[in-house]
Structure 1
Amino acid sequence: MPRRPPARRPGRDALSTFVPPQASEKDPPPPVEALTGLLEDRYPEVVRLLGWIGCDSPAELVTAWAHGRGAGWVWRVLDAESEPGQVLAAWKDVLRSDDQAISVLESLVFETNMGRFAARASTRMPGGMRYAKTLHVVRQRVALSLWEHALSVNWRRPVVFCRSLRLARTYLTAVVANHELTDEKSRFQFSGRLGQAAVLLARFEPVGTADLEASAEQFRMSVAEGNPAADAVPYLLECYLRLHDNSGDREYLGRAALTDREFADASRGPTWHLMMAEVWLRLADGSPRNSRFAFYLRNAEVSLVRAGEPGGGEAVQHALLLSVAAAARRAPALLPSVRLGLRRLNNPFGLGDHLRRFAEAGHPAVELPGVLVHDLRTRFLESGEPLHRRLLADCFRAYVQLGNLDGELENARLLHDALALQEGTLAKTTALTDELSRMRHADDLLALAELRDNAKRRLDGIALLIREAGTNTTSCVPLVRLGRTLEHGGRPLDEVARGQLRVRLGDVPGADRWIQAVVEGDPDFFYEQAAGRALSSPDLMRRNLGGRSNVVTIDDYLGFTDSTLVFKPTTRLCFDRDAERSAAVRETVRRMGAEEQFGVIDLITTISAADVAHSQEQFPSGTELISVRRFAGGTELAKQVSPTLPEQSCALLERTARFLAYMHGSDGASAGKQVHGVRKNVRKEARMWLRSVLPDEPTAAPGCDEVFDAWWALLAGTGLPPQPRRDAHAFNWLVTDTGQIVAVDLEASHHRPMGYELAQLTDDVPALPVDRWDLRRQVVTAYTEALAHCQGAPPVDGDKLWLAYRASLLIRAVRALSDRTGEPGIREHGEALLDELCSPHRDPGQPGGPEEESLSGLAVLLRNAWAERRGTPGGAPLRELKDGRRRRISKALAYHLRHSPHITRDASGWVEVGTLAHVLSPGIKVTAEEIVSVARALTETRFEVRGDCVRARYGHSRPAIVEYQERLPDSPLYHCTSSSALREIFERGEGLRPMSRQWVHLTTDRAAALATGRRHGPSVLLRVTDPAGLAWRHAGGNTWLAGHVPPEALSVVPLHQLFATHG
């Protein structure tokens, strides 16, 4: 891990040793149990967060806190609700302490109290203290405590390390943004750490280019603020290497070389020289064999000599770069360029994973895996350093997995060495004890057992996994590994082996049942046990599987649990429906002999949401249970289809349409029965989409109801029976590596018209060119034939189904127009499809019927309505304004409609579109159509259009009579304000006032409030948790207005509440 900059106190100098106020004999100190209960009751979000960043249990944390500060003092801090003034008194105690260290728990509680009781505490500020400054210093302490916690976790718990570091970065970002409130001598501590955070994260997880660019700027800022170049520049050089990893742009390597030259007089340690050695080698990588290549290589060799003999992880990095430089030096002269494969080498922790990249990079890199294993083995095989042993064992394992060794014996020898490194037998030292190493040890035992068919090694590995599962009761990793071992088969355990396991694991609670599951070869038992732990483990990463159903899987850093379990939050009713339909579909697929073509994800178990820690934070409201299924490895259908690959997409869609037909054909419960409520259910969703397209003026005609009735008449006229709803969009299917189509999520209810879900399948995600009706006909035909085959009945009328499908495409196109997800191409696809449907479709040699003319007429009506809403003339092609131009127009409109004295408005704020276009023209050339397009955008709630006029809904500084609906918001409201305004809001008791506006603006959208506030510099997010008792007006969308918000209604949102633990 990195060297830490010398500690400096960011706050006031210590005045005296911390001595907490003593409780009187009549008031004995509260017990730890009472303190823990108070913490969990008053600060549940802090307790949850501490768990996700891998802290000790609440009781252990409180015990340590009470021991350091005194139980009575801790009680008064936790019980701040009874007397908020105690918060400031306690904080002054902390500032007076000689020991400036502060625990993560203590710092988060102080920040929570400073925000929760902002109004009451700020009116009691002691002389010389200001609320904004005090809150800032508290957040500094939170940042530093989280930073120290992350470094204490380090590589032994990479997922927790990264999550803790990301949270620390949240606080560091706020502190650096408010640098005026930080003592000048301490600023570099925070800017330097902010830059360092992204670099440290990049050692374990992907970090975006923008974050790394910002990191480079922070390093330079920290040097300007006093951070020694010797401390900052090595991280800056590493930052440039990570930027080169992301982009492949050699300019970043050039920046690194210039930085090295810029600080030529700075003191340099081994880290600096190692970073520059890698920079020079990367510049040599792929360069022509000329004088420049020789210059790069010579500089790399000089840097490696100057690095000396570093220790720790840098010793491994040094040995690696020496091997690479030697390979480059001895490369045959006939090679036109030298390939070293260094890009994306994440030293030192990614070395094992990088061996495969070396093997695929060309010459001489292809030789490096074998060379490195030999060189590192020679240098570190008998090292007692835990990190050396861990990294070397990883290299041996990765080399075996490359599969290019000369025989089984060499594989076995390397795995034996990996085991010896983990056990410490070669260096005659203790075994590696971190969880990652223990799991690697068990995995290597099982790999060696499989390689050599060694029953003893297999028994050792199983015993280690069961012991790990029994002693580490929060980890699901050993249980998943046991499940996978049993899935892959192998020699069953006999009675002798069972007896040996019982003896070896006699001290492990519940071991007998686990041993029995191993003997029975029951992997699902272990998966079921693992599932109960997985959702609460801080050492796992959560990954969304796409779609619209909140389905997630979990991954661990080593990859043991990757793609094994799938979790879906649901209700009991939905789960029962899913289970029933899954069984019916599975039986139909079996009956049709299509088990190799189609499948359903197998259910492992269910978990009550009440039994999952923090389920209310992890899952949507209303979740009753979580279904756990076996992961089906594959890719969402949505990612395998594209209009640019029409034939390939059509083949996949045809197969999926057959599976959809089998699903519809498996619904024996409603076969032959009258199905009710189809029109009602479709009308509900269709009207929602139609309202986004049709004019919103009350007198506009035809309205949503008339258009829906005309559209429904087309479907009803086909006389086709409705089918059970599948929710067939392309995110609800997986395509496995073997080509099997797997259905995800079968809990949809009710029925839909026949053809409706075919349209959803082919066009909710753009899959086919809009004009390829021949391909769409193939998909519909595949469905028709499969349904008839499944039901053992004559096929439905193909022409009628084709009409129903095309009519369904019309409403799916309207849905695409109203898309708010921001997915690229969705709205454009809807527009193109709507244009295509405006022309009546005729098959070759067949005249179009009246139904096609009616469908075409509806398409034209909707297309023209959308064109008008978009501000596009009816005959012109639909087009989308580019984001930059849209923002410029929107910003100009907001100013002129709200504030400009140079425009004529009526009493209600309305302005003619032509007038607006003329007034805007000196600054931005804009048409009346573009103004209407911007003002009517689906995501734009600030403007209103009526006829040829536009007005701002709210935000006026000039008088405007706008009638608003008065009602009470049903969720908290947010307002982001500058840090400098906190004194007026809280200390002076002014609250939120309209200032130059007519109203105070608040929103239910926290992200929108933050985005608005940050445009004006350092900001603080305020919340009205309980809007009752104040007069509110709804201005449209998420915006609410008030004449005044008193300070006692406001709280400051702690930064940790803006942090997504699984994001």
Structure 2
Amino acid sequence: MARTDEISCALQVWTPELTESFHSLAYLGSEPSIKWLTESEWSSQLESLTHQDGHVIAAEMWRKVLKESAQLSAPVLLLILEHMRRNPANTGSSLAAVGLEFSKTLANLAFRAADALHEGAKQSFAGDEIDVAIARFQAALSEFRFSIESQLLTGPTRRLATGKYATAVAMIGRWVNVSPEAVSRALLYSKESMTLGNLKPETLIYRLELLVLQFDQTGDAQLLREALELLSENQKIAEGSELAEAEARFRLAQISESGPRDSRRYLKAAERRLVLFRPKSGVEESRRSVLSTLVAEAKQGRLVMSARSMGIPRGLLASMATKPSTTLWVTIRRVIDELENLRINRGSVPAAVLSARFLRQMIDGPPELLDASNLSNYVEATSWLATKSSWNRHVQWEAGAAALSVAKRTGNQELAQQAQLIFDELATLHSTWPLPRIGLARVRDYLVGSNNNTSSTDDSWQDAASLALKSADYARSNLGGRNEVFAVADARGFLSETFVFKRTTRGKADHEASMLSALREEITRQGNAHRFEVPRSLAIVKVPADDERQWVHVSQRAAGRLVSELRGEEVSEVLDSIVDLLAVFHRVAGEPPAGKSAWRSLKDHLKLWSKALFEREQADRFVKSLHGIFPSKLPLVRKRDGHASNWLVDSAGRIIAIDLESVDFIPIGYDVAQLIEDDALIQANPDGWHRRLAIIKRYIENMGEEISSSDVAAAYGWFALTRALRLGTEREAGKQLRRHARELCGLLVECGDDSIKGLARDLMHALSRIEQLDTNESAPGPDHRRLSKAMAYQLRHHGPSNDIQIDKAGFASMDKLALVLNVDSSQLLAVAEYPGEPRFEIRDGRIRALYGHSLDVVIDAGIKVGTPTSLFHGSSWSALDRIVHDGLVPMQRRMVHLTNIAEEAMAVGARKGVPLVLAIDQSHDEVPVAEGIWVAERVSPDRISIMNPFVGEAGVIR
């Protein structure tokens, strides 16, 4: 076993997530990349950091950093940081032994790790590792924000952290989509950094880039003008900003409202700035080359892209994917020609990387737009890069992938043999790396098919699948709600495609492969490849297994972000496209068998969910009532499992459908409700109701069905009610989604069909733990919140002191509480019944708080939501040192409160100060007391670890 593999295996035992991260950050995978561990003067101590019990060494090494100015590499700092987070109690003791405070150490170590990642990313950009650079910048973002949010950094350190966060966002935004929130935050941080005295030219340059990036996202031309104003106000530090300024002026030329004259003026100014610009790196030189070409194209009137699609290279690549055309290809060929000149005449590696990326996108585009030179240039550029970076296994792999891709296009078997040699050598050198095995299997598929050979290639795919399923390089991905899906990123990771290995049954694998094929053919026939991307089925092979899932379906698809993880505005932009693709799928997925009943398919789920909420007889009555109004006359379609975790959005904004293996059938439109409600993609209010109906009507029209508006509304109400039932009883759902379930019921009471209102009211009562409802209040006002706090204070803590008798179950007289608070009982009822705030329960004229007591009461909530898979606690940085020493204790309350959703813990922590999220190892004595809330008497320090809630800061690509 290679030294790299030994290290990888040791890390895998301790922390699989860090193992995968180290591979993506290029800290594992080739011998030169692990010199930080094997060739250091501290190599024996460093190795202990890859084991769980290395916290003593971690503390000592950090002491050397502070006291002896020791220089540690980014992976070493990340390993020390991981020890602090995973085992704060023991690491805290080790730090205390050398006189260091845990909380300040954690914040400063996160900054040091981020800073080292940031520097490593810049070095990668200077070479050919663009993908590695972006991965390191993304990792740096999360640690910078973690340290900044702690409020424990000194002024000078905070100045650096905020400035470098902004720089990282700008650098990432050149290549991949960054969330609008991250861009806005970067602009705020860059302004703070400048206010704190960071007046380096780079700070101004990256702020200019961020303003242009925000223009790309919003289309607000004022942002470009703000960029130019910023330059005029900071002329003393404007040196080197000519490229960023030229980009802003170039965009203004494309959107000029004053006519051609102003447009020409902006273009000439951009040209002058590009001439004045003196690149400091190959990356800057390559970007100048691309922008100069685009300016020249614009001056000749040949540019066909919008101003918001000209980011280099992100915007150009997205345009190539979504709006391919002969005119665009002509422009891109001119861009490539200039880059190739830099590669050939100047030996520019960044130019070659950019050239190869544009060529790859060409080859992935419409075949009719290609010419022979594009194919030969792609092979030549990637081969040249492989020669320049013989140590980089990812670059070698892409050279093989390029040769195979062109071989398939041209029938050139010599290129296929060349690819096979590359993959063979990589498989020998990196025996545990799945990608070379995947490459070999694909080569064999091609050679067998092109030679009309009847040989099977299953053995090659079995090797690849077995290796992928047990590889320490890649962890299981939670895609489509599954725990046995492995997503293996290829050489350029998020910049290109992903191979997916899904364990399943043979029947489901065959079915999914046929669905993918049918969907791809239909999308191609419609000419919608620029809007939708469909995975390609590569193989179905058998592997050893302990259950019926003895088959692995291997597919290849574009990388992207899960819709369930997008922000609100981003979701709104893609919802229509998702339902359009859903309609395409349902049209090609096949007809149901004769006599098929959708009710029988849904009934078992409804019974299961109802029994988790109601007593048996009431559950039976509820399901029977649902059956009575079931929209049985609707046509049936193939079940899609349309929830938001089954859709991805790639870097070009195309929608990708994943997980198509279901063989069941459901009523038309049910998947639309699952998509919207299971992740609360649309708010449960009257405006949201109209938006829901507009979306499902769009879907019905795309399906070619004629269904009346009243029938569509009634059907959606039924679908939404069943999804609310599911959310209200799903153990993985947190407080926010349970609140959505209650609010959705309230919306159906207000806006739904008459036939559904009674059931919606019954379900809302059950989910809110109350027996009556008589309020239409859509949002709590200040008086509501004040009264709610006063009620909670009396019922949890102070009631007996005011002669409010509270029994052992926590109940008190509503009349007595109303008298003490000087309000009517109806006002108490309105607060208790508000579905968005389940603090209280009413029974037989008595009321109690459901949690948070300091009084000696026992709350039997009767919640049947099962054991949570994870538990979290929201606290504050100011309390961290005490928690590390003592654990979590109730303080003013009787119990420690926990939640199963990290974001909700973050919100709780924000109410206590600067928020911090703690993950809790379960001891299975935690008791549920309300939706999404568990309590424990205390949590010992050894059960606590610390989360970085900002790990997806730049958007996770899957």
TM-score (structure 2 length as normaliser): 0.71
In structure 2, what is the Cα distance between the partners aligned to 1:886 and 1:602? 54
Residues 896-926 of structure 1: per-residue CA shift (max 9 Å, x gap):
232378999652465749988997999xxx9
How many angstroms does 1:278 deviate by?
Answer: 0.6
Quick check: 1:293 aligned with 2:263?
yes
Which of 412, 419, 444 is residue 372 of structure 2 equivalent to? 412
Given the superposition, is the C-alpha separation of residues 544 and 1001 from structure 1 closer, same or farther in structure 2, using an over 3 Å criterion? Answer: closer
Given the superposition, is the C-alpha separation of residues 565 and 81 from structure 1 closer, same or farther in structure 2, using an over 3 Å criterion? Answer: closer
Cα pair 2:509 2:540 within 8 Å, conserved: no
Q: Report what 1:306 is aligned to.
A: 276
Quick check: 1:276 aligned with 2:245?
yes
Structure-to-structure mapping, 1:815-894, within 5 angstroms: 815-820=722-727, 861-866=758-763, 881=778, 885=779, 892=786, 894=788
How many angstroms does 1:206 deviate by?
Answer: 1.4
> SS at 2:553's partner residue?
strand
Residue identity opposite 1:628 in structure 2: H
Residue identity opposite 1:994 in structure 2: P
How many angstroms does 1:862 deviate by?
Answer: 1.9
How many angstroms does 1:704 deviate by?
Answer: 2.5
In structure 1, what is the Cα distance between the partners aligned to 2:658 and 2:77? 49
Structure-to-structure mapping, 1:276-355, within 5 angstroms: 276-287=245-256, 288-289=258-259, 292-308=262-278, 311-331=281-301, 341-348=306-313
Residues 735-788 of structure 1: per-residue CA shift (max 9 Å, x gap):
xxxxxx99933588xxxxxx977796797568989999xx99x99999xxxxxx
Residues 691-729 of structure 1: per-residue CA shift (max 9 Å, x gap):
76xxx7x9xx983334446777999xx9x9xxx999675
> SS at 2:230's partner residue?
helix
Quick check: 1:138 aligned with 2:101?
no
Q: Report what 1:56 is aligned to.
A: 28
Cα pair 2:121 2:133 within 8 Å, conserved: yes
Residue identity opposite 1:688 in structure 2: W
Residues 461-489 of structure 1: per-residue CA shift (max 9 Å, x gap):
55445545555555555665666677678
How many angstroms does 1:198 deviate by?
Answer: 1.9
Cα pair 2:853 2:894 within 8 Å, conserved: yes
Given the superposition, is the C-alpha separation of residues 733 and 601 from structure 1 closer, same or farther in structure 2, using an over 3 Å criterion? Answer: farther
How many angstroms does 1:812 deviate by?
Answer: 4.9
Q: Report what 1:104 is aligned to.
A: 75
Cα pair 1:165 1:197 within 8 Å, conserved: yes
Say which is worse superposed, 975-984 or 154-163, in terms of deviation.
154-163
Q: Report what 1:390 is aligned to.
A: 353
Q: Report what 1:510 is aligned to.
A: none
How many angstroms does 1:280 deviate by?
Answer: 0.5
Residues 67-106 of structure 1: per-residue CA shift (max 9 Å, x gap):
5354664577778859x76764454234333432245145
Residues 184-217 of structure 1: per-residue CA shift (max 9 Å, x gap):
3333222222222222222332111110110111
In structure 1, what is the Cα distance between the partners aligned to 2:549 and 2:456? 28
> SS at 1:382's partner residue?
helix
In structure 2, what is the Cα distance between the partners aligned to 1:453 and 1:558? 25
In structure 2, what is the Cα distance between the partners aligned to 1:443 and 1:85? 45
In structure 1, what is the Cα distance between the partners aligned to 2:189 and 2:103? 24
Residues 536-576 of structure 1: per-residue CA shift (max 9 Å, x gap):
77998998775779767666466999788554355xxxx36
Cα pair 2:576 2:695 within 8 Å, conserved: no
Q: Report what 1:1011 is aligned to.
A: 907
In structure 2, what is the Cα distance between the partners aligned to 1:274 and 1:979? 41
> Larger radius of gyration, structure 1 or 2?
1
Quick check: 1:92 aligned with 2:63?
yes
In structure 1, what is the Cα distance between the partners aligned to 2:410 and 2:52? 64
Q: Report what 2:163 is aligned to.
A: 192
In structure 1, what is the Cα distance between the partners aligned to 2:928 and 2:771? 34
Q: Report what 2:684 is aligned to.
A: none
In structure 1, what is the Cα distance between the partners aligned to 2:575 and 2:274? 52
Q: Report what 2:619 is aligned to.
A: 704
Residues 369-406 of structure 1: per-residue CA shift (max 9 Å, x gap):
45435555556543312222333455566667777999
Gaps of 5+ in 1: 1-30, 333-337, 494-517, 590-595, 611-621, 666-677, 735-740, 749-754, 783-802, 840-855
In structure 2, what is the Cα distance between the partners aligned to 1:760 and 1:1018? 42
In structure 1, what is the Cα distance between the partners aligned to 2:7 and 2:485? 38
Q: Report what 2:541 is aligned to.
A: 605
In structure 2, what is the Cα distance between the partners aligned to 1:105 and 1:634? 29
In structure 2, what is the Cα distance between the partners aligned to 1:581 and 1:405? 31
Given the superposition, is the C-alpha separation of residues 887 and 624 from structure 1 closer, same or farther in structure 2, using an over 3 Å criterion? Answer: farther
Cα pair 1:140 1:171 within 8 Å, conserved: yes
Q: Report what 2:682 is aligned to.
A: none
In structure 1, what is the Cα distance between the partners aligned to 2:398 and 2:268? 39
Cα pair 1:600 1:742 within 8 Å, conserved: no
Quick check: 1:659 aligned with 2:629?
no
Residue identity opposite 2:946 in structure 1: V
Cα pair 1:973 1:1027 within 8 Å, conserved: no
In structure 2, what is the Cα distance between the partners aligned to 1:298 and 1:602? 51
Q: Report what 2:223 is aligned to.
A: 252
How many angstroms does 1:312 deviate by?
Answer: 0.7
Residue identity opposite 2:248 in structure 1: V
Q: Report what 1:944 is aligned to.
A: 841
Given the superposition, is the C-alpha separation of residues 559 and 910 from structure 1 closer, same or farther in structure 2, using an over 3 Å criterion? Answer: same
Given the superposition, is the C-alpha separation of residues 878 and 231 from structure 1 closer, same or farther in structure 2, using an over 3 Å criterion? Answer: same
Cα pair 2:511 2:661 within 8 Å, conserved: no
How many angstroms does 1:284 deviate by?
Answer: 0.9
Please state which structure has a larger fraction of its residues in helix: 2
TM-score (structure 1 length as normaliser): 0.65
Cα pair 1:917 1:928 within 8 Å, conserved: no
Cα pair 1:1003 1:1009 within 8 Å, conserved: yes
How many angstroms does 1:66 deviate by?
Answer: 6.6
> SS at 1:818's partner residue?
helix
Structure-to-structure mapping, 1:785-800, within 5 angstroms: none
Cα pair 2:339 2:352 within 8 Å, conserved: no
> SS at 1:221's partner residue?
helix
Cα pair 2:382 2:402 within 8 Å, conserved: no
How many angstroms does 1:1034 deviate by?
Answer: 4.3
Aligned residue pairs, count: 873
Say which is worse superposed, 944-953 or 725-734, in terms of deviation.
725-734
Q: Report what 1:628 is aligned to.
A: 553
Quick check: 1:172 aligned with 2:144?
yes
Given the superposition, is the C-alpha separation of residues 914 and 633 from structure 1 closer, same or farther in structure 2, using an over 3 Å criterion? Answer: farther
Cα pair 1:993 1:1000 within 8 Å, conserved: yes
How many angstroms does 1:277 deviate by?
Answer: 0.3
How many angstroms does 1:233 deviate by?
Answer: 1.3
Given the superposition, is the C-alpha separation of residues 996 and 303 from structure 1 closer, same or farther in structure 2, using an over 3 Å criterion? Answer: same
Structure number with the bigger relative contact order (C-alpha 8 A, sep ≥ 6) is: 2
> SS at 2:345's partner residue?
coil
Quick check: 1:897 aligned with 2:791?
yes
Q: Report what 1:1051 is aligned to.
A: 944
Given the superposition, is the C-alpha separation of residues 252 and 890 from structure 1 closer, same or farther in structure 2, using an over 3 Å criterion? Answer: farther
Given the superposition, is the C-alpha separation of residues 707 and 629 from structure 1 closer, same or farther in structure 2, using an over 3 Å criterion? Answer: same
Given the superposition, is the C-alpha separation of residues 373 and 196 from structure 1 closer, same or farther in structure 2, using an over 3 Å criterion? Answer: closer
Given the superposition, is the C-alpha separation of residues 663 and 485 from structure 1 closer, same or farther in structure 2, using an over 3 Å criterion? Answer: farther
How many angstroms does 1:142 deviate by?
Answer: 2.9
In structure 2, what is the Cα distance between the partners aligned to 1:838 and 1:550? 41
Cα pair 1:760 1:812 within 8 Å, conserved: yes
Cα pair 2:227 2:248 within 8 Å, conserved: yes
Identity %: 18
How many angstroms does 1:1025 deviate by?
Answer: 2.9
Cα pair 1:531 1:565 within 8 Å, conserved: no
Given the superposition, is the C-alpha separation of residues 980 and 218 from structure 1 closer, same or farther in structure 2, using an over 3 Å criterion? Answer: same
Q: Report what 1:788 is aligned to.
A: none
